[in-house]
Amino acid sequence: MRLAVATWNINSVRLRIRQVARLLSRHAPDLLCLQETKCPDERFPRAEFEQLGYPHIALHGQKGWHGVAVVSKHPFADVARHRFCDYNDARHVAVTLERAAGLAKALTLHNFYVPAGGDEPDPETNVKFAHKLAFLDELASYPATRAAKAGSHALLVGDLNVAPLEHDVWSHRQLLDVVSHTPIECEKLRHAQRAGGWRDVMRAFVPEPAKLYTWWSYRAPDWKKADKGRRLDHIWASPALAGAATKMTIARETRSWQQPSDHVPVIATFEI
């Protein structure tokens, strides 16, 4: 079965529902995972997604901040939400697809929004950075991570807010002390990846030393010309799905749309 999965930090789903509709019309993934939806579940634009052909919706939202969602053409066998670090800050939702979705074996898709971590890369003085590091530690020991290594069919996607490799940023040297590319963050994310045996789908298609970005700051007056990007958004596959990815697209064009998110969507297609 062909299954296309997209991930996008939308930075307010209600504000950018037209951009989402445009993406779905153009690329038509089977599932779209959104981060930073920034709305409580009861105010999520459910009717708009149903009209677009995505009637199956899993939400974990809150008022004004954070929030994740999965919208799908296919029904869910199960929906789960996990609270990391004992915070109720709406940063994870998982959906399981089974036979009703056309799959012979169950597949669980985890959608994450890892804390950004603030500006100061010191956990002693910056509680946001300390939270981020604790979140990454917990991700490494999360049951789904162990299940992935044990053979489950699983995907882990989202805004992980870390650019872990040298060529995931525009300047490795200049960003070593900048939150999202500090050595401690990069190592903790890589540790979580190794703990589950997760395969980096994006880098399978675009190996280093090629530059690979999914985020460009709003501060740049001409983001395209400056091209000072970072790869903060990721798609990982469990070892059982290591060879299943057949295509990967970074929808960079969305960054030039009117009132864009600072992140762009990533879409991966799997034959499962």
- pLDDT > 90: what percent of the chain? 99
Model pLDDT for residues 176-227, shown as the tens digit of each residue? 999 999 999 999 999 999 999 999 999 999 999 999 999 999 998 899 999 9
Mean of the per-residue pLDDT values of the chain: 98
Residue 134 — pLDDT band, cuts 50, 70, 90?
very high
Query: DSSP per residue over 221-263, as a string?
Result: TTHHHH--EE--EEEEE-GGGTTTEEEEEE-GGGGGSSS--SB
Q: In this structure, what token pair is assigned to residue 247? A: 């295509």
Domain with 226 in it: 2-271
CATH number of 194's domain: 3.60.10.10
- Determine contact, residues 239/156, Cβ cutoff 8 Å: no
Q: If you compute the radius of gyration of the chain from its CA atoms, what whole number of angstroms results?
A: 17
Report how far Cα 2 is from the mean position of its chain's Cα atoms. Answer: 20
Model pLDDT for residues 81-110, shown as the tens digit of each residue? 999 999 999 999 999 999 999 999 999 999
pTM greater than 0.95 = yes
CA geometry: angle 232, 35, 223, nearest 5 deg: 45
Model pLDDT for residues 149-176, shown as the tens digit of each residue? 999 999 999 999 999 999 999 999 999 9
C-alpha separations of 219 from 45, 138, 153 in Å: 29, 32, 39
Query: In the chain, how many domains are there?
Result: 1
C-alpha separations of 122 from 15, 126, 195, 226 in Å: 33, 6, 25, 28
